[in-house]
């Protein structure tokens, strides 16, 4: 069908199309964003092949070993300005970002190379990558394994031979042994010695508090001293055990050849895992991927949060959200019930309703400022003076912590719960309430047995939305208790088990901190994407379930709305 442009334009169709385009753009933006996060976040755990190539620049050749991470095109003029020889007539060149690791040898993890200057590219099966507790990844060839000063295995070639594989097996066994010792050291340092230190600190505070009270109870002091001596003994035993373990863990070393050709020694105790990606099949890689993913969600961060897992951040986020929802649910529901069922409907309630509604739109940082000023400094400061004078001047509740963060977020999200619950209450037809009252039930009974059960899905929706909001909120938390690295989880085996005064880690803040405050942003970036993906997934899940519950609720009460 032929239509002339002017006629088509006159009908307003171009505008309709542009409007349609806006929807399409919005959808593309959202999907694109999610795909970007997902692709960058998930790729990180895949064991990338290690490239070995000869890199020549300005008539100078070196061997380079590493993973190709990124590539971009750069104008040749820019390169020429930087003093790089670029052949005539070339306008643009491809530049690859290589992760070369070996920060202890070369100083940097990453380097840019011109793709065209790489020659003799290969993926030798014998190249191995090692993740380490410090200095980042290592890439190179395994040359020898040492126990103490004795060499237990050695191999000098570049081919996959049985001798090499035997050496590799020994290497892996040695890593496993070191891991086991490492685990026991961790267990002793973190838990057993941690518990002793914790108790000693508690004893110190107890003594101080007795002194502050002016107590002259010699028996009490003696008891404290006795217990302290006992703990000191226990500590000494553990200390000896530790020294022994440290001696054991430092037994083994490997000798490895790096890209420059020289060999270096690496303590096996420093190695987290070693693998040869170029020699892995798809299933081996999948297995590796799975174990990396598991490490990511279950392990503690290493190397200033740029490696390892984010378990403390997940744990902190979840715990804070749980405490927050325990606080916000009853209060939000009570406030909504009061506003809808008990308060006299009139100008004042309308005003309050608008105010509550609008508080949901108040910037979250304002809640953070309020939390810091009122909860932390005012309430916390007074609690410290009244109940923890023995710990002063170091604050107990007078500094940001789990409790204040939870309460601040509860305050931030309570309008969400109130609004959602009220909406649920409004939807319940009058007739149902009146029916209950006519049968002789009191108002409280009607509320408890009829109204609240019917409104419960709405409350659930409200709480889930509140949780979703709280889980993603970062700005207020920066003021009231989130830290980049918390030494201990706020929930542990030391009495009173849940440490409400402790600072904690949070997924959202982790993203901000690692992405923007980290000394090695380039290395940390994939981890930030992965963290972001996790956060998005959790929040999307929460929101989708809220939507589902809301729809379910609407279906359920459709019959009542006649």
Residues 6+ apart with CB under 8 A from 455: 421, 424, 425, 427, 428
Nearer to other proteins, 287 or 330 (CB): 330
Q: Which is nearer to other proteins, 214 or 361 (CB)?
A: 361
* Residues in contact with 191: Cβ distance below 8 Å, sequence separation at least 6, in sequence order: 493
Nearer to other proteins, 137 or 364 (CB): 364
By beta-carbon proximity to other proteins, the closer residue of 16 and 326 is 16
Helices (H), 66-161: 76-81, 103-106
Least separation in angstroms between residue 9's CB and other proteins is 8
140 vs 316, which CB is nearer to other proteins? 316
- In this structure, the number of other CB atoms found within 10 A of the CB of residue 344 comes to 7
Q: How far apart are CB 209 and other proteins at their closest, in Å?
A: 19
The pairing of beta strand 51-57 with beta strand 60-75: antiparallel
Closest to other proteins by CB, 13 or 215: 13
Contact 269, 249 (CB under 8 A): yes
Gap between the Cα atoms of 41 and 534, Å rounded: 9
Kindly state the smallest distance separating residue 29's Cβ from other proteins, in Å.
6
Min dist CB 242 to other proteins, Å, is 36
| Token reading at 24 | 């399409």
Q: Which is nearer to other proteins, 272 or 546 (CB)?
A: 546
CB of 276 to other proteins, least distance (A): 31
User: Of the two residues 356 and 505, which places its CB atom closer to other proteins in the complex?
Assistant: 356
Residue 322 CB contacts under 8 Å (≥ 6 apart), including other chains: none
Contact predicate 51/119, CB 8 Å: no
Q: Which is nearer to other proteins, 163 or 445 (CB)?
A: 445
Q: Are 396 and 383 in contact (CB under 8 A)?
A: yes
Question: Strand runs (DSSP E) across 276-408, as ranges?
Answer: 301-302, 307-308
For residue 82, the Cα-to-chain-centroid distance in whole angstroms is 39
The angle subtended at Cα 162 by Cα 160 and Cα 164, nearest 5°, is 60
To 10 degrees, the CA torsion angle through 372, 378, 384, 387?
Answer: -130
d(CA 299, CA 311): 5
* Closer Cβ to other proteins, 372 or 463, answer by number: 372
Q: How far is the CB of 187 from other proteins (least distance, A)?
A: 34
Q: How far is the CB of 530 from other proteins (least distance, A)?
A: 12
Q: How far is the CB of 496 from other proteins (least distance, A)?
A: 26
Nearer to other proteins, 111 or 543 (CB): 543
Q: Which one, 309 or 371, has the nearer CB to other proteins?
A: 371
In the complex with other proteins, the residue whose CB is nearer, 33 or 226, is 33
Residues with Cβ < 8 Å from 365, sequence gap 6 or more?
A: 475, 476, 479
SS (H, E, C) 217-234: CHHHHHHHHHHHHHHHHH
Least CB distance to other proteins at residue 409 (A): 13
Distances (CA, A) of 128 to 142, 171, 224, 230: 7, 12, 55, 49
Q: What's the CA gap between 345 and 336, in Å, rounded?
A: 13
Q: Measured between alpha carbons, how far is residue 420 from residues 332, 365, 426 in Å?
A: 9, 23, 10
Give me the least distance between CB of 286 and other proteins, in Å please.
28
308/296 Cα distance (integer angstroms): 6
User: Which residue pairs from 150-157 have beta carbons closer than 8 angstroms and sit at least 24 positions apart in sequence?
Assistant: none
CB 101, CB 120: distance < 8 Å: no
Instruction: Give the whole-angstrom CA distance, residue 325 versus residue 402.
Output: 13
Structure tokens of 549? 């519950």
DSSP 406-429: HHHHHHHHHHHHHHHHHHHHHHS-
103-127 in b/e form (b: 16+ CB < 10 A) is beeeeebbeebbeebbeeeeebbbb
Q: Choose between 88 and 149: whose C-beta lies nearer to other proteins.
A: 88
For other proteins, give the closer residue by CB, 221 or 512: 512
Q: How far is the CB of 482 from other proteins (least distance, A)?
A: 11
């Amino acid at each position: 069908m032929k239509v002339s442009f002017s006629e088509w334009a006159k009908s307003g169709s171009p505008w309709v199309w542009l409007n349609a385009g806006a929807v399409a753009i919005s959808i593309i933006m959202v999907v694109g964003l999610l795909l970007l996060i997902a692709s960058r976040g998930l790729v990180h755990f895949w064991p990338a092949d290690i490239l070995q190539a000869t890199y020549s620049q300005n008539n100078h050749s070196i061997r380079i070993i590493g993973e190709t991470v990124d590539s971009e095109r750069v104008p040749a003029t820019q390169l020429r300005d930087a003093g790089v020889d670029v052949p005539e007539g070339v306008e643009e060149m491809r530049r690859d970002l290589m992760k070369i690791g070996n920060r202890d040898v070369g100083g940097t993890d990453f380097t840019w190379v011109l793709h065209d200057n790489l020659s003799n590219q290969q993926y030798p099966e014998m190249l191995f990558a090692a993740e380490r507790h410090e200095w980042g990844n290592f890439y190179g060839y395994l040359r020898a394994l040492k126990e103490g000063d004795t060499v237990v295995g050695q191999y000098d070639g570049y081919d996959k031979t049985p001798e090499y594989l035997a050496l590799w097996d020994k290497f892996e066994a040695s890593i496993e042994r070191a891991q086991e010792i490492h685990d026991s050291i961790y267990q002793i340092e973190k838990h057993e010695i941690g518990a002793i230190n914790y108790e000693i600190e508690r004893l110190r505070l107890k003594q101080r508090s007795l002194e502050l009270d002016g107590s002259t109870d010699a028996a009490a002091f003696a008891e404290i001293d006795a217990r302290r001596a006992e703990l000191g003994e226990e500590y000494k035993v553990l200390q000896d055990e530790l020294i022994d373990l440290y001696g054991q863990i430092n037994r083994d070393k490997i000798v490895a050849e790096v890209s420059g050709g020289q060999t270096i020694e690496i303590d096996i105790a420093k190695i987290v895992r070693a693998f040869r990606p170029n020699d892995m099949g798809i299933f081996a890689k999948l297995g590796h991927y799975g174990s990396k993913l598991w490490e990511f969600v279950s392990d503690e961060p290493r190397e200033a949060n740029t490696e390892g897992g984010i378990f403390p951040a997940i744990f902190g986020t979840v715990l804070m959200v749980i405490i927050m929802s325990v606080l916000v649910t009853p209060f939000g529901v009570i406030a909504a019930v009061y506003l809808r069922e008990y308060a006299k409907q009139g100008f004042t309630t309308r005003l309050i309703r608008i105010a509550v509604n609008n508080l949901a739109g108040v910037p979250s940082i304002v809640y953070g400022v309020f939390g810091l000023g009122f909860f932390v400094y005012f309430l916390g400061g007074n609690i410290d003076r009244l109940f923890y004078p023995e710990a002063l001047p170091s604050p107990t509740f007078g500094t940001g912590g789990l409790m204040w963060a939870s309460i601040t977020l509860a305050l931030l999200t309570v309008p969400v719960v109130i609004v959602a619950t009220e909406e649920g209450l409004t939807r319940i037809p009058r007739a149902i309430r009146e029916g209950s009252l006519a049968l002789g039930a009191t108002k409280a009974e009607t509320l408890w047995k009829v109204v609240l059960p019917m409104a419960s899905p709405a409350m659930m929706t409200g709480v889930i939305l509140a949780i979703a909001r709280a889980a993603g909120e970062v700005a207020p938390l920066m003021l009231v208790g989130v830290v980049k690295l918390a030494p201990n989880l706020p929930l542990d085996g030391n009495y009173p088990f849940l440490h409400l005064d402790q600072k904690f880690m949070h997924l959202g803040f982790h993203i901000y901190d690692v992405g923007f405050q980290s000394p090695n942003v380039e290395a940390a970036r994939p981890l930030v994407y992965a963290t972001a993906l996790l956060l998005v997934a959790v929040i999307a899940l929460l929101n989708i379930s809220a939507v589902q519950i809301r729809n379910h609720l609407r279906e359920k009460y459709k019959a009542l709305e006649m």
